Chain A
């Protein structure tokens, strides 16, 4: 009977379409997930230490700087959280445990220092969108005509939530836009158009060099199935020691747009924004 059922199930998977998974994209997803996990772990340890220190201080009656007057606690409200100001040009994009990013005190920016950003909520999306647009504004960069940040219904569940991930609206459907900035050399770079496995040249991938000498790579994965997205990834190894990966991609479904929405030049311009410097 087992064989019969198996044959029946085999019938269901007959005529399977070609696999459209992009190995580089999957590995990039995995790396992001790994970084998030490490960031969360460090954040958790820091929280435990903070609780221990505060608890010890409280239990010992505040041995240091003890005050007899109990101050009321500040109200806790997410709406009180300040919006990200227009970032200074050398503000780091995110915290990471893989490499020291910056000793710049501006890392206290609430969006860049939050060790536990929610990854699948509208809030995360809107915060990221605001941060991206702040960075673009500081770099005199605007969305191309016909493209805008999506501020309604932007919540998502995605495995590809990058360091900054925003949903964009176009006339023909939505796209995902992600920016990932890290210190060059802090992890394996994807600047070369060579397969990590066998060293062979990757298809639809080009390496160039920017006018300032930065290393540049653009990789385009074309879908092999209807409705699947074109995935465009731009990587820049900047001369300031920062590597930036910018992705123009989409989900699968009628609300998404399959073709890329942003030009390669625009993606490179984003990757070169000074505000993404990791210090």
Chain B
């Protein structure tokens, strides 16, 4: 157990920040949820640590757990009732206008969870279409289609963002 703790602790220290960024994007721009996702993921990694460490598959497993947890999370009714857009307490909105980062977060938050996961895995985690398909348990055709739709939706949301988002408030 001490070996496991030491090795796992080293992994946690080196990867937690990076994992949280991915979790943040997967969760649609909520740092609190991102941290919850990372904690959930890390606890599962700890359980399977000897095998994952031996196989060199820790990062892949972490991505898989995190993506599934994020999608499950977004499917829960109580999450759907919440407005992710309005739960960004640490950012706020500048009175003079909408910050670019906030625009992107809000656009991400408006993507369906599955589509968002494809965009994050393909363009943030740099996974190939085949790797993304394997991770999400979908066909390569579906991944290509969702990536394309996701990017198109992001572009549209960002292009019309200020009017769209400000119109929501």
Interface residue range, chain B:
35 or more
Is B38 an interface residue, CB under 8 A from the partner? yes
Bound together, the chains give a CA A253 to CA B105 distance in angstroms of 20
Contacts of B13 in A (CB 8 A): 23, 197
Name A17's contact: one of B5, B9, B90, B101 (CB within 8 Å).
B90
Known: A21-B35, A37-B47. Contact between A14 and B5, CB under 8 A?
no
Q: Are A159 and B43 in contact (CB under 8 A)?
A: yes
Q: Which residue of B lies closest to A29 (CB)?
A: B43
Q: Does B68 contact A (CB under 8 A)?
A: no
Find out whether the CB atom of B32 lies under 8 angstroms from the CB atom of A6.
Answer: no
- Say if the beta carbon of B42 comes within 8 Å of chain A: yes
Q: With an 8 A cutoff between CB atoms, is A73 at the interface?
A: no
Q: Does A2 reach chain B (CB closer than 8 Å)?
A: yes
Interfacial chain A residues near B126, Cβ < 8 Å: 2, 6
- B110 interface contact, C-beta 8 A: no
Contact indicator B8/A13 (Cβ below 8 Å): no
Distance from B21 Cβ to chain A, minimum over Cβ atoms (Å): 5
* Binding stretch for chain B, among A105-113, A202-210, A220-228: A220-228
- Contact across chains for B104 and A8 when beta carbons are under 8 A apart: yes
B36 neighbours in A (Cβ, 8 Å): 159, 252
Q: Say yes or no: A225-B90 contact (C-beta < 8 A), given A5-B151, A9-B123.
A: yes
Interface of B is mostly: helix
Confirm or deny: A47 has a beta carbon within 8 angstroms of a beta carbon on chain B. no
Question: What is the chain A residue whose CB lies nearest that of B102?
Answer: A12
Q: Is the CB of B9 within 8 A of A13?
A: no
**A159 and B104 contact, Cβ closer than 8 Å, known pairs A17-B31, A17-B90, A228-B32:** no
B119 to chain A minimum Cβ distance, whole angstroms, is 7
Using a CB-CB cutoff of 8 Å, which residues 88-139 of chain B contact chain A? Answer: 89-91, 100-101, 104-105, 108, 119-120, 122-124, 126
B101 contact from A5, A15, A20, A23, Cβ within 8 A: A15
Please state if B123 and A6 are interface contacts (CB–CB under 8 Å).
yes
Minimum distance in angstroms from A258 CB to a CB of chain B = 12
CB distance from A20 to the nearest CB of B (A): 6
> A241 contacts the other chain (Cβ, under 8 Å)?
no
- A26 vs B39: C-alpha distance when bound (angstroms): 6
User: Cβ of A21 and Cβ of B31 under 8 Å apart?
Assistant: no
Residues of B with C-beta under 8 A to A253? 32
Give Cα A15 to B158, complex, Å.
19
A188 surroundings in chain B (CB, below 8 A): 1-2, 5
B46 lies within 8 A of A30 (CB): yes
* Chain B interface residues toward A at CB < 8 A: 1-2, 5-6, 8-10, 12-13, 16-17, 20-21, 24-25, 29, 31-32, 35-36, 38-40, 42-47, 49, 89-91, 100-101, 104-105, 108, 119-120, 122-124, 126, 151, 154, 158
Sorted nearest first, the 10 A-B pairs with minimum C-beta distance are: A30-B46, A5-B123, A29-B43, A12-B104, A13-B21, A252-B32, A188-B1, A197-B9, A30-B43, A14-B101
A-B contact pairs, 13 of them (CB 8 A): A5-B119, A9-B104, A9-B108, A12-B24, A12-B25, A20-B35, A23-B9, A23-B12, A27-B5, A197-B13, A225-B31, A226-B90, A227-B32
